[in-house]
Each structure stands twice: as structure tokens, then as C-alpha cells.
Structure 1
Amino acid sequence: MKNLMPVIRKLRYFIYCRKSSEAEDRQVQSIETQIRELGEFAEKNGLEIVDIIYESQSAHTPGRPKFNEMIQRISAGEANGLLVLFPNRLSRNPVDAGMIIYFMDLKKLVEVRTPSKVYYNTATDKAFLALELIFSKKDSDDKSEHVKTGLRTRYLKGLPNGLAHIGYFNDMTREKGNRDWYEDPVRWPLVKMIFEKFLEGTYSVRKLYFIARDELKLTTPPRKREGGKLISLSYLYFLLRNPVYAGFFYYAKEDGEVVRQDLDKKLKRMITEDQYWQIQDMLGKKGRPRSQKRNLLYGGLIWDEVNNCAVVGDPKFQIRCTACKHKFSYINQDQCPKCGIKIQNMNRPKFKNYVFYASVKERKSPGIKAVSIEEKKLNGEVIDYLVQNFQISKGLADWALRHIDEIKDKELQENKAVTRSNEQSSENGQKKLLRLLDMHDRGLINDEEFSLAKRQISPIQGNKKLAEIENIDWVSEAKKIVNLSIEMSELLENGPFEKKRDALVKFGSNLLFNRGKVRINNTKSISAYINGLQVARSEIVGFEPREYVVNKGESGEFEGKFPALIALADDFRTIDWVNEYPFPSIALAELKELLADPTLKN
């Protein structure tokens, strides 16, 4: 007789423990604790343990080596049960979760046990286990999204992710993930000194490393488990290539696009962006995304009035070998092309960076040596011109801006008064014309009398000289010039490239080149402004626009002293502003035509 009793399979278990260093497992017990807890539970309940399998791996994506090995061993019949601390230890992704349920369907996995619940191979328990694993996946996705949102918020605040870079500290009074940066009073000046020494062009990276290590004793910031050690050579290279010290950094968006972000404005910059890119050229590295086109401060802004052509810049990045004295370009070079010595092994090499501007025709003409001017000299001449002729004090600028607003308000009121007068005159004229038509229709006057009377009713002409109420162009242009006059020379001397360039374009005047000499051909508005300052200088003994201070409440007295400056308002109002700034004057294709236009000359 057949035995109809069901076959009871003996349960043999794998203990599986997992912990990840990622955010999903920050609160999960350590692997050692998991093994102890599950071991005690198995002993107490008389469970047969085949093996203990553990790994430090995220379960967010498939591909865990130990997990896959365990699945293969279950498929081979070594065990038919799993003992875990929580279901989410098994999986946080749909692929591995599906594998667990699938093996239960195949009867290769009889149960999944935790200290608080047993999931048997029944439809209900498998559904509950699947839900547990699905919610583990959702919990992981939610945490991932929270982390990404936090990182995006941090990036937009102008702070990179992670620990503050050397020279800065994290604000430990704030919660983790939301800690601002502030300057490290000990390391910040030391790191700045390293940048300054490297920019001198007389130190190789290796020589600079010895100075940082042996003389400055520069150490990495102390951390909980590491840090506080003297910097290494590789760390110094990382420091020199790090754009954070120039006030910007890069981060990758979810679609993989690399985005530039400016550093928090509250943090001081150690170097300018121009200096950062100079360092990258000196290191022989192109760095992160940057146009291959060299940024030339006066590129496209100068015209050769002798040869009637554009003046272009030619950048030079050179170093003289300390061994063979050969001069060569260090762009994309790491050694002397003549003797082969590495740049980093040279004894205090001198890096030189120049930009020379010369006429296009002279450069392209064989046998003719092009006369050029170096950018530093050119910039110095422009700054001297601005200081002597254009720059005014902050106090004088404030007075001018206030007075411009007063004139604008007065003109608005005049416009309104004239408009009301014109409307009244027009209304009266319409009434007279209607009365005249009525008299003609009633036969009180004949056609000849009607025509004669109609001609005597003059049409109302508006005041065409007054600006539109809503759009007074001279006001915005005058304010722009006043604002430029207090900041432009400082910007050209110490500002970043983008602001220097923007100031030159706003200034709008042409730079005319003549055999190595440059003169400034101002626009009408700049000429009117400078002429006003010159007249004021001549009328008032000791008047110096760069130093003059207007005390509060003395606007009326000041106004009385400077009729020449006040008269500038009329000059500005009579300028044709639409045609005054056809520049970026500066479009090379149009420059020749613009210079020939007599309306643009003084």
C-alpha cells in the first residue's frame, strides 16, 4: 500500500546579512550585530544554519556578488530557507525581489524568516513578502530623491557636495547636509600663498610641494577618522586644478549634463578666474569645459586707422628652460622640446604670459614687421585716460544720479502739462469747427466764408521736442555713464575678465590704433560728459571730480557751483540715442562703415 503522507522537507537556512555605506542604510545595524542577533535567534529556535553570507553592498541595483552566489547555491539545493534581520536586507530593486518570489514559486525556497515574521510559500505570504520588497524599493527611491533634491539645493546655494576643501571649514553647528562653508583662518592664507607663488612662474609644482610641506607645514583639515596630515604631491596638483578657489565649480545633472555653478558669494576668492585658467595652462592641462578660443580683453575693440583694418590679439604662453635656456610655449607641453627636461623638474622656471595686438594687414604682409602693443601696456594707458578724464568720486556720482532723477521728474511734469494744454486746445478747436459746420448747414455762411474761417482754426501741433513720458532714453544712458565713471578704472585694473569686457563694451568708445599708439575716439555722449567735467575744472579752482564729496543737504549749494555739469542734461537730451550706440561698435564687419560715419565723430 502506498504511503499517502506528505513528504516533509527538512529546512536548512542561509543567514544573509548586508549593510551599505549609502544613505539608505545609515540607521541599519552593523554586519557583526546582524550576525549575532540572527545566530542567537537560530539557536533559540533550533534552526539548522548551512552558512552565514554577508557583504557590504548597496541593494539599490542588481549585481551583488554574494547575493548572486547565494541564489546559485539555493538553486543547487544547499538550502531552502533564508534568515534575515529585515526583508529589505534581501533586496531594494525589482530584479532581485522577483528572483526571491520566483524561487519560492519553484519550491526551491520554502520560507523567508525574520525574527518577527515568517513568510511561507503560500499565495498570501508571498504577496506580503512582495509588498515588503516593493516598499523597500520605494523607500530607497524616496531617499534617493531626497538626497538629489538636497544636493541640487546645495549646488544652487553655491556650495559643492561633501566636505569643505582645504582652506575652508564646514559649519559644524548646522545639521549634516546643510552645513555652510567659512574660511579656515589657519590654512586659508597658506593656500593663497601657494597660488601666489605658483603664479609668479618661478616655482615648479614639485618645488612648491616642498615649500608647502617643509616650510608652511600645510596639513589637510582634521576629520573624524582621517586628515591632519601633511599634504601630498598629488593633493597639491588637485588643489591647483580645483576651480573652487577661483569662485566656481562644476556638477553633473541627472541627465549627465555638466553644469557650471558660481561659489557662494559670501566666501572670499583666493584667485581670479583668469588666474585659474592661467594656472591650468601652466600645468599643461585644459581643465573642465572651456572654449578653445582664447579670451582677449580688447579683441575686436581696436581699429587700425592707418591700414583701415582690424587689430587682433596674439596670446603667448612661454617658459625658458632652466637647463638649456631654450624658450618655448608651455601649452600642452610637459618638457623642453630641445633638451627633454620635465617642466616639473626645472629649478624655479619662469612662466611668461603675454598678449600682443597688431594690425591684421601688417601681420599678413610678408616682409613687413608688424608694430604691436602689449595688452598690459594698452590696459594701463586706457586706465590712465579714464582716471584723468572720466573718473569721478562716489559723492559726485550720487549727486549726479539724484539730479538726473530730479530733471526726469520735472520733465515728466512738463510733458503732462503740455499734454493737457494740447488736449484742451484740440478740444476747443473741435468745438469751433463743429459750430462752423452748423452755421454752414443752416445757410448762415456761404462756402467761401466757411473755407476762410476753417483755415483760421490752426491745427494743434504737439511739442515734438519733449520725450515720451514712458520712455526717456537719455536718463538711462546718462545713469549708465555715471555708474561707469566710478567703477570702470577699478574694474579694468582688478576685475574678472567678463566684467572688464562688459565695461569696455558699455563704454562704447572706439580704440584707434596708429603704429603702436592707441587713442580713444569717444562717442558723443562720453564726449559731452568729459567736456562737462573739463569745463567744471576750468571754472572752479581746485575742483577734482575724483575726490569731490557732496555733504548731505548741500545739494542746492553744490548745484549752484556747477552750472557746467547741470548743463550736461541738455546735451544728453539732444543726443540721438538710437544711433548713438550702434556698437558693439565692435562688430568688425561694420567697424569700417561706422568710423566713416560723420555723426559718430567728435
Structure 2
Amino acid sequence: MNTLDFTTLKVANYNRKSSEAEDRQVLSIGSQIEEARRIAEFYKLPPFTEVFQEAKSAKKEFERQEFSRMMQMIHSGEVNAIACWKLDRLARNMTEGGQLIDLLSSGVLKAVITHDKVYYPHDNVIVMAVEFSQGKQFVKDLSVNVKRGQTKKARMGVPHGVASLGFLNDKTEEKGNRRWLEDTLRLEAIRVLFKLFLTGTYSAGKLHRYATNELKLTTVKRKRIGGALITLSRIYEILKDPIYTGFFYYGGERYELDERLPRLITEDEHRKVLMLLSKRHIPRIQHHETTFAGFLQAADGNFIGQDVKYQLICDCKHKFAYRKKDQCPQCGVDIAGLDSPKYLNFTYYYNVKRKKAGQEYKSISEESVASELIKFVEENLTFSRDLSEWSKKYITELRDREINENVFWEQKHQSDMVEYEAKKSRLREMLRDQQITDLEYRADLVVLNERYASVDMKRKHVDWFARMNEIVDLTQCALDVLKKGSVQAKRNLLSKLGSNLTWDDKTLSISNSKAVNKLVEGMKRAREINQKFEPKNTFVNQSLNKKTDRFQPVFSTLLRG
């Protein structure tokens, strides 16, 4: 029989609300405190020595500061009883649960008081142990069930949680079977952002300004949050998210996105986006707009910086940097009052690491870089209009030939599939009729699978047609853009060519994308075949439907290159 005098106890009230998703449905902390007051009134407890509150999970031991503080007060004798809503508020792991059982069994704790039961030192500790273990098992079972449900959704092609920007959660279906829907307006805006970023001329910051100022892209309005213009950090999340490519990861495994949802970019483009976002390729913030910043690099891989000089020669012949100045520093005459000022603008590119280290370095002027590029384009990437039109005609013929080949291979693929399935069916019939043993069936099936291993492999489609036509178009305008175009037009041209310029303090090396490099190599081989061959001077006077013997080997070399 219990003779404990509750009025003499030093009681601490402990309240906990878990931060874990599977444990959020328990009483709120406010409700637990109200329940503790009811318990105190019912048992006529003295005022609580301390009220502990925290929002932490109890699954793992030694991760709750308030619980640890309460345990210290128990060991020091400041507290000898605990009032709480339920035992699982105190612990959901056997380590901390075992500590409480030991304290109660040894009499350090006089009582643990809950809303429906009081635990005394002389009680059977098995009851408390079972309740603590049930709490632990409940968490484990719930975790397994949640993961199973999320894996099922992943196999359906739907990531769990809130849909990525550009998609919406379908709330018309029951929980567990909800799919994603298209958010058409936002999805099209994100498609535009990817297209701009892939040009290589937009940094994430510039893309963010475009998204907010031009597209007015906002997040989805929800009950308490959302509806605001997209942030810069969200731009980075969108660019890195593979969901717009058509796949996602869950539990370390890759899953394909629901095929009913659109793909904004290809996997190759996704890898290019990640490459552009990597530290080595992130566009640097510039205070001056320069033509070749980001396209130039040092031979040793170091960053090439730019030094922009704005200078003025005064009437007194003194030369000085005039920005943020109103007067000549030598004669004191106002710049606005000069009779014949001469303005100069120079841009030099240099090896940043060498300059910072105090090492010897040589710079190259923007005019010199432009001159080298113009020379390169004149020699390798300038076609006459007739040659350009002939090239497009021949490219179209190659595409048509490829289409015919694809039709043939598709028909062969279908035929092989029918033959493969028929032989598999025949093997199953022979096994069923006991004409062959199970061992023979498995051996024959292995041989059959090896023989038709390539049947399921589809021919990879490469959209070379659009790229080749784009390159041919560039041969018509590249020279004019380099000579007369704006800074942005020149940068766009270099991006389309995939240009990489390397400065080694002596010479400037020019390389471009693989397709453009192949064209340049083809030009060199064409000249070896016909030394007088020059693209800008070459005309195709005969019908575009005819390829003369004179030009056939040259053009074949160009397009094959």
C-alpha cells in the first residue's frame, strides 16, 4: 500500500513536443502544461520546482538539453519526482529510459506521475520498461512505413514533399497516391531561365534580376508563406535540381520522373549547367563590360583578369584617369570646359595569380585579341553565300539519309524483337511439356539473351542537324559581328562558337566547340586536296542539286571532318 505524501515532493514538470514528422500529432506543449496543472491539482502537489519545455525528438539519447538539465537536478537532489503527460514524453530510447528506471528503483526518484498512472519505486519495473520499449518500437515501425510509402511514390515517378517550382501537388487524390501537375506559367518561365543560362553569358545573379524584373516569377502562394518574387538562393536550387531533366534521387537511388510531366532540358544540358555553376566557371562580378572576360584563360589554368582604363588628355597635354574627376589634376581646368579633350579607352587582360604574386607577366590588349579572332575567322570560318547554301543543302541530304537508315534499323529492331519473343515462348513451351529440363531451359535462355543482347538497345539520336546549320549561319555573320557588333553581340557569338581563348604571355591560342574545331580541321584537309580552295572565294555555280567532281572531295572532307 502506498503511503507517499505528495505534498512533500519536489516535483519537476517535463513537457516535450517532437520535431520529427512522425511524432507531431501528440499534444502541444501548451496542452501538456495544462494537463500537468490538472495532475498537480488532483494529487495536491506543491508548486513545480521547475517546468521544462523543449521541441526535440527523443529517439536518440543525449540530444535534449532540457532533459539533461532535469537529470542533473535529480542527481543533485533538487528534484525527486516528475510530472508529465505520458511516459513517452520522457524517453523513446532504452538508454535514457533505463536511467529513469534505475533512479526510480533506487528511490532517488520518489514518483513519476502521468495523467493516468503513478509509478512508485516498489512497482514492477517491467511495466515501465515495456512502455519505453513500445515508444521506441512505435517510432521504428512508423519510420519503416513512411519510407515504404515514399519509396512507392518514388517508383511512381513522384518525389515526396512539396512539389518543385513549376509543378503543383495534386490534392484531389487520396494521400499516398497524389501525383504532380504542371504549373504551366511558372514552368515556361523556368524553361526561359534555363535557355538563357545555357548561353553562358548569364550569371545566377543576372538570371535572378531577369526572373524578377522581366518574368515577375513568384513562388506558389500557400496558407502562410509564398507568393513573393523568387530569391537568388531559389535560382541556384532550380539550376541544380535534376527534376527539370526528368529524374530525381531518393535514398541514394535514382528514379525517373513521371513520364506525363515535361522535361525542360536534357541530361547533357543539366551537366553543362552544373559545370557553369562550378567555382571555376562561375562568372565573376564585373564593374566594366568587357568583351572577352570569361572566355580568356591562362595556359596554366589561372584566371585572366581585365584592367579597364578610361583616360583623358587635357589641353595642357597632361594624361589622367578622368572617372570620378571634375578637373584636370595638373592645370585645374574643369573637364567640361576643355576646348579639345582627347578621350582614351583601353582594356588589357592579364594573369591575375602572377600579378598578385609579384611575378613577371605580360598583358594583351582587347584590340589584339579581337585582331587575332578576326584573322582566325577570315581564314577558317568565312564562307561565300553560295558555298553556305550548298552546305545547307548537303546537310539536309545527310539528314534525310540518316532518317532512312533509322527507319531501316527500327524495322530490323521490331523484327528482332518478334523473333526473340517467339524463341523465348518456344523455350517455355518445351519446358512446360518436359521436352527439356529446368537446367537446360536456363542454359538455353542465357544463350538466347546473349544473342539478342543488343535488341533492346535503341539507336542514340543526336540533333546534329540544327547545330550544323547554326555553324553554317555563323560563317556568314561572324566576321561582321567581330568588326562592328556590340560587346554583347560579340559575347553571344563566342558562346555559340564555344570559344576558349588561352593566353600564355606570348601567344593567343583559339579553340572552339568540338563541331567547330572539326570544321576548321576539315578546312585544312580541304586545302591539302585543293591548294587554291578558299571558302570565301568559292562559288557553286551549278545547280544545288548537283555536286561536281571538282568540289565533291573538298565538301565531303569538310562535312566528314
Give the TM-score range, shorter chain: 0.5 to 0.7
- Counterpart for residue 305 of structure 2: 337
- Counterpart for residue 240 of structure 1: 239
Mapping for residues 579-598 of structure 1, pairs under 5 Å: none
Amino acid at match of 1:265: E
Query: 3-state SS of the aligned residue for 2:82?
Result: strand
Query: 3-state SS of the aligned residue for 1:231?
Result: coil
- Counterpart for residue 556 of structure 2: none
Change (3 A) 1:403 1:263: closer
- Counterpart for residue 282 of structure 1: 276
- Counterpart for residue 403 of structure 2: 391
Which consecutive unaligned segments of at least 5 residues does structure 2 have?
309-378, 382-387, 422-445, 468-517, 526-561
Match of 2:18 among 11, 20, 24: 20
Show CA shifts across 1:210-229 (max 9, x none). Answer: 11112211111122321111
Instruction: Note if contact 1:209-1:233 (Cα within 8 Å) is conserved in structure 2.
Output: yes
- Counterpart for residue 157 of structure 1: 156
Query: 3-state SS of the aligned residue for 1:516?
Result: helix
Show CA shifts across 1:93-151 (max 9, x none). Answer: 11110110011122111111111111111242x22111111111111111111122223
- State the distance in 1 between where 2:71 and 2:106 align: 13
Match of 1:264 among 258, 262, 266: 258
- State the distance in 2 between where 1:395 and 1:159 align: 34
Instruction: Confirm or deny that 1:127 pairs with 2:94.
Output: no
- State the distance in 2 between where 1:41 and 1:380 align: 88
- State the distance in 2 between where 1:53 and 1:145 align: 31
- State the distance in 2 between where 1:195 and 1:332 align: 31
Q: Once the 2 structures are TM-superposed, how far is the Cα of residue 372 of structure 1 from its aligned partner?
A: 11
Query: 3-state SS of the aligned residue for 2:49?
Result: strand
- Counterpart for residue 296 of structure 2: 328
- Counterpart for residue 30 of structure 2: 32
Query: 3-state SS of the aligned residue for 2:72?
Result: helix
- State the distance in 2 between where 1:132 and 1:477 align: 57
Query: 3-state SS of the aligned residue for 1:206?
Result: helix
Query: 3-state SS of the aligned residue for 1:127?
Result: helix
Q: Once the 2 structures are TM-superposed, how far is the Cα of residue 204 of structure 1 from its aligned partner?
A: 2.5
- State the distance in 1 between where 2:419 and 2:133 align: 71
Change (3 A) 1:472 1:121: closer
- State the distance in 1 between where 2:67 and 2:216 align: 47
- State the distance in 1 between where 2:307 and 2:223 align: 48
Q: Once the 2 structures are TM-superposed, how far is the Cα of residue 45 of structure 1 from its aligned partner?
A: 2.8
Change (3 A) 1:401 1:271: closer
Q: Once the 2 structures are TM-superposed, how far is the Cα of residue 477 of structure 1 from its aligned partner?
A: 11
Instruction: Note if contact 1:111-1:119 (Cα within 8 Å) is conserved in structure 2.
Output: yes
Change (3 A) 1:328 1:318: farther
Instruction: Note if contact 2:399-2:465 (Cα within 8 Å) is conserved in structure 1.
Output: no
Aligned residues: 366
Change (3 A) 1:163 1:382: farther
- Counterpart for residue 91 of structure 1: 91
- State the distance in 2 between where 1:333 and 1:135 align: 61
- Counterpart for residue 530 of structure 2: none
Show CA shifts across 1:265-289 (max 9, x none). Answer: 22211111111111222222599xx
The structure that has the greater radius of gyration is 1
Instruction: Note if contact 2:13-2:82 (Cα within 8 Å) is conserved in structure 1.
Output: yes
- State the distance in 1 between where 2:53 and 2:401 align: 78
Instruction: Note if contact 2:104-2:110 (Cα within 8 Å) is conserved in structure 1.
Output: yes
Change (3 A) 1:131 1:176: same
Mapping for residues 448-463 of structure 1, pairs under 5 Å: none
TM-score norm. by structure 1 comes to 0.52
- Counterpart for residue 59 of structure 1: 58
- State the distance in 2 between where 1:152 and 1:274 align: 27
- State the distance in 2 between where 1:231 and 1:161 align: 22
Change (3 A) 1:489 1:60: closer
- State the distance in 1 between where 2:418 and 2:70 align: 84
Amino acid at match of 1:279: V
- State the distance in 2 between where 1:12 and 1:56 align: 24
- State the distance in 2 between where 1:93 and 1:478 align: 54
- Counterpart for residue 440 of structure 1: none
Instruction: Note if contact 1:284-1:333 (Cα within 8 Å) is conserved in structure 2.
Output: no
Query: 3-state SS of the aligned residue for 2:255?
Result: strand
Instruction: Note if contact 2:105-2:122 (Cα within 8 Å) is conserved in structure 1.
Output: no
Identity of aligned residues (%): 33
- State the distance in 1 between where 2:109 and 2:299 align: 64
Amino acid at match of 1:43: E
TM-score norm. by structure 2 comes to 0.55
Show CA shifts across 1:404-442 (max 9, x none). Answer: 999999xxxxxxxxxxxxxxxxxxxxxxxxxxxxxxxxx
Amino acid at match of 1:86: K
Change (3 A) 1:264 1:335: farther
- Counterpart for residue 208 of structure 2: 209
Show CA shifts across 1:65-120 (max 9, x none). Answer: 00010111111112211111111111101111011001112211111111111111
Q: Once the 2 structures are TM-superposed, how far is the Cα of residue 200 of structure 1 from its aligned partner?
A: 2.4
